[in-house]
Amino acid sequence: MTSGKVLCLLLASLAAVSSFESYYKFRINKDFIHNTFQKNMKLIFEQAETFQIKDVYLDDIQARMTNINLKIQPQNKNWENLKLEMMIDEGQILFEMHELEFSGNGIITDPKTNKQERIEYTAPISTCQLLLSLGEEYATWGSLYPRINVDQVIFQVQENLIVVSAFGDLPLYQSHQFELAVKKWFVNQLNKRQGDFKTQLQAVEKSIWSQVDFTVNFFPGVSLNTSLSESLKFQGDSIQASFINEFETGVDYSEFEKQLVSVKPTFSNENAFKKDIQVTVDENLVNHLLMGLFYSKKTFSLVELFLKYTPGNLNHIAKMATNFFTTTVLSVALPELAKEVGQNKKVDFRCGFSKQFLNDKVDDTHISQVWFKKGNTIEGAFHFGCGIFYNPKSSTNPLQFISSLRNGDLSGLSGDSSDGDEWLSWRSFFLNLRGDVTFDFQQNARYKGLLTGKIKNFNLKTNEIKVFKGDQEIRAEENIYQQRLQEFASTLNGIDVDKLFDRIPALKGIPIIAQSDSLKCMGLQPSNAMVEIEDRFMRIAYDFKVSPADKKCLFNIFEEEESKFSRWEKETNLKINRGMDYINSQRERLGNKANKVLYAKSILL
């Protein structure tokens, strides 16, 4: 990085480019780590085999071996019952594998007669150890990322236990050096396999971290950077990590920060939360997303956001969304819509939270905010506007589509590709809402496609609602929609969300936890979820059903070092540009005074 870029980056920092911290913590049970290694050890050993040398010349006996095949495997040939011990001590993890053997075969050519015969070799592995340690790695801009270091791999055999079986009757066999030369080569190959295995284990570690997005751009102008707040550490029978989530918006929102409370989430040691993984998330994560929406100066399509941010089977989700968002389905809540524009017209909600969007529409234009409260309650104050748009072309009858889904028939998901780009505005709604919802997670918070629970209580207060048709306010409709909102809120009380998804089989395959596609590829299926909302934060815990990972995930889907540093360089440049944008905006706002302050800072640098 040039000195000019360093200067710009420091200037951006000194100029206080906005960032506020929230904390994300997780802990992983050591039994889950052991189980994951147990299920995938075969894949790692097999990958190391792909680098073996197939042909070799033995100088000691001047003979060539070809078609060599060597492998490490359990002596009983059954990987399911691999004896794997795991020990933790002073920040290191030691794995010991027992009852393994190093064996193989090849074709040896007699140097005098050129006659070829089969040769086999095998030996029990006396020592098979993997030593890992917890570490971290700095990005060029200072973010700290977790790493699992592969410190040492040890494979050893006792030479007196190596068995060489030579078939046929070659003159070469008469030499005393024959067996010694083969055993010497055999030990060297085990040492090479030791290095190859270590390389593949490092590739797996790199692959796993590459699938975690430590920088996420939610929408233009708002990004989330996640960095370790402290080193990975062992605590009891688990590995614990604490991350800082820093939001960057390029604007000064210090006034909004005064409304926030710094949160220090804690883990639960109750038996219900003693699962493979426990995660904590604080309310500031949500609040800064809302803050980003406030300053984004744009509107968002509800359907597009739903398609973009729903993990799992996106193709099915997309087709279901296009079928359900119609005037016919929404006629229960908005009967006027279907009456005015007709049945079976696709509908989209385009919403905005920005100050510019709300100005001159509602009285309260503050940033929306949520509060997590002990007792599984979430309270919120939301200030936003939504426009309802419809497509004048008719779409598939949604009632027929729902009937097909209830019967498990997915053929109707082909969708309707004749929507076109013509969307017309019907109404615009601007609202100030305050409410709270209390969940019951004790009975139904389990992972069955969706993480679900029961809504125990839902309270909603409509402080303000404005309805517009074009630029004209329609006061006669405002009381009607306010009453409908209250009726809708009352119907939510006591709803068991879990049962709703039981009625539609196709909806059971929509996971909502982060990195779900990656988890599936890694052979991990979350189950038995437990959720609890405390003051200012929530914790989620769940177990995993562990299966062998897809080989592509472990070895093919990871960044080379050059690609990683290229990505880091791009992200660094992005931060510099944001910093300069902030400096320029401050200069414009404060005029000569800002110029003098920033110039003074540059001189000090």
pLDDT tens digits, one per residue of 243-262: 988 877 777 777 777 788 88
424, part of any domain:
yes
Q: Looking at the structure, tell me whether residues 205 and 321 fall in a common domain.
A: no
Question: 303 with 320: CB under 8 angstroms?
Answer: no
Q: Looking at the structure, tell me whether residues 364 and 442 fall in a common domain.
A: yes
- Looking at per-residue confidence, does 103 or 519 come out higher? 103
Q: In whole angstroms, what is the distance from residue 261 CA to residue 536 CA?
A: 8
Kindly tell me if the per-residue pLDDT of 580 is higher than 60: no
Residue 16: predicted pLDDT: 33
Structure tokens at 356: 């510019």
Kindly tell me if the per-residue pLDDT of 427 is higher than 70: yes
Angle CA(356)–CA(362)–CA(367) in degrees, nearest 5? 60
Nearest to 244 by CA among 259, 258, 265: 265
Q: Looking at the structure, tell me whether residues 298 and 398 fall in a common domain.
A: yes
Mean pLDDT of 207-211: 79
Q: Looking at the structure, tell me whether residues 286 and 419 fall in a common domain.
A: yes
Mean pLDDT of 103-128: 95
Q: Looking at the structure, tell me whether residues 472 and 529 fall in a common domain.
A: yes
Kindly tell me if the per-residue pLDDT of 314 is higher than 80: no
| Average pLDDT value for the chain | 79
Q: Which domain range does residue 169 map to? A: 28-210
Pairing, β 277-282 against β 100-109: unpaired
pLDDT tens-digit map of 141-169: 667 889 999 999 999 999 899 999 999 99
Confidence of residue 577 (pLDDT cuts 50, 70, 90): low
Q: Looking at the structure, tell me whether residues 183 and 291 fall in a common domain.
A: no
Say which range, 26-30, 76-80, 230-234, 444-448, has the weakest mean pLDDT: 444-448
Confidence of residue 9 (pLDDT cuts 50, 70, 90): very low
Q: Looking at the structure, tell me whether residues 411 and 283 fall in a common domain.
A: yes
Mean pLDDT of 54-65: 95
9, part of any domain:
no
Residue 223: predicted pLDDT: 79
**What is the percent of the chain with per-residue pLDDT over 90, rounded to a whole number?**
42
Residue 412: predicted pLDDT: 52
Kindly tell me if the per-residue pLDDT of 288 is higher than 60: yes
Residue 555: predicted pLDDT: 75
363, part of any domain:
yes
Q: Looking at the structure, tell me whether residues 205 and 294 fall in a common domain.
A: no
* Helix H or strand E segment including 560: none
Q: At what angle do helices 398-406 and 314-324 cross, to 10 degrees?
A: 140
Q: In whole angstroms, what is the distance from residue 95 CA to residue 133 CA?
A: 11
Kindly tell me if the per-residue pLDDT of 401 is higher than 70: no
pLDDT tens-digit map of 73-95: 999 999 988 999 999 987 899 99
Residue 7: predicted pLDDT: 33
Angle CA(150)–CA(514)–CA(264) in degrees, nearest 5? 80
Structure tokens at 489: 């809120």
Q: Looking at the structure, tell me whether residues 184 and 257 fall in a common domain.
A: no
Mean pLDDT of 105-119: 95
Burial of 264 (0-12, 13-18, 19+ CB in 10 A): exposed
Residue 513: predicted pLDDT: 46
Determine the 3-state secondary structure of 402 from DSSP.
Answer: helix
CB 235: neighbour CB atoms within 10 A?
A: 9
pLDDT tens-digit map of 290-309: 888 888 777 888 877 776 66
Confidence of residue 319 (pLDDT cuts 50, 70, 90): low
604, part of any domain:
no
Residue 406: predicted pLDDT: 59
Kindly tell me if the per-residue pLDDT of 567 is higher than 60: no
406, part of any domain:
yes
Structure tokens at 452: 């679900």
* Half-sphere exposure at residue 84, Cβ-oriented, CA atoms within 13 angstroms: 23
Q: Which among 175, 210, 245 is the end of a domain? A: 210
Burial of 605 (0-12, 13-18, 19+ CB in 10 A): exposed
Q: Looking at the structure, tell me whether residues 436 and 532 fall in a common domain.
A: yes
Kindly tell me if the per-residue pLDDT of 552 is higher than 70: yes
Confidence of residue 529 (pLDDT cuts 50, 70, 90): confident
CB 383: neighbour CB atoms within 10 A?
A: 26
Q: Looking at the structure, tell me whether residues 179 and 124 fall in a common domain.
A: yes
Q: Looking at the structure, tell me whether residues 274 and 156 fall in a common domain.
A: no
Q: In whole angstroms, what is the distance from residue 535 CA to residue 284 CA?
A: 12
**Tell me, what amino acid is at 509?**
G
Say which range, 321-335, 441-455, 553-567, has the weakest mean pLDDT: 553-567
Say which range, 211-215, 402-406, 424-428, 483-487, has the weakest mean pLDDT: 402-406
* Rama region for 216: left / alpha / beta (φ>0; ψ in -120 to 50; rest): beta
Query: What CATH number does residue 161 fall under?
Result: 3.15.10.10
Residue 339: predicted pLDDT: 93
136, part of any domain:
yes
Q: In whole angstroms, what is the distance from residue 604 CA to residue 223 CA?
A: 30
Kindly tell me if the per-residue pLDDT of 240 is higher than 90: yes
22, part of any domain:
no
Kindly tell me if the per-residue pLDDT of 191 is higher than 90: yes
CB 25: neighbour CB atoms within 10 A?
A: 21
Q: What is the domain count for the chain?
A: 2
597, part of any domain:
no
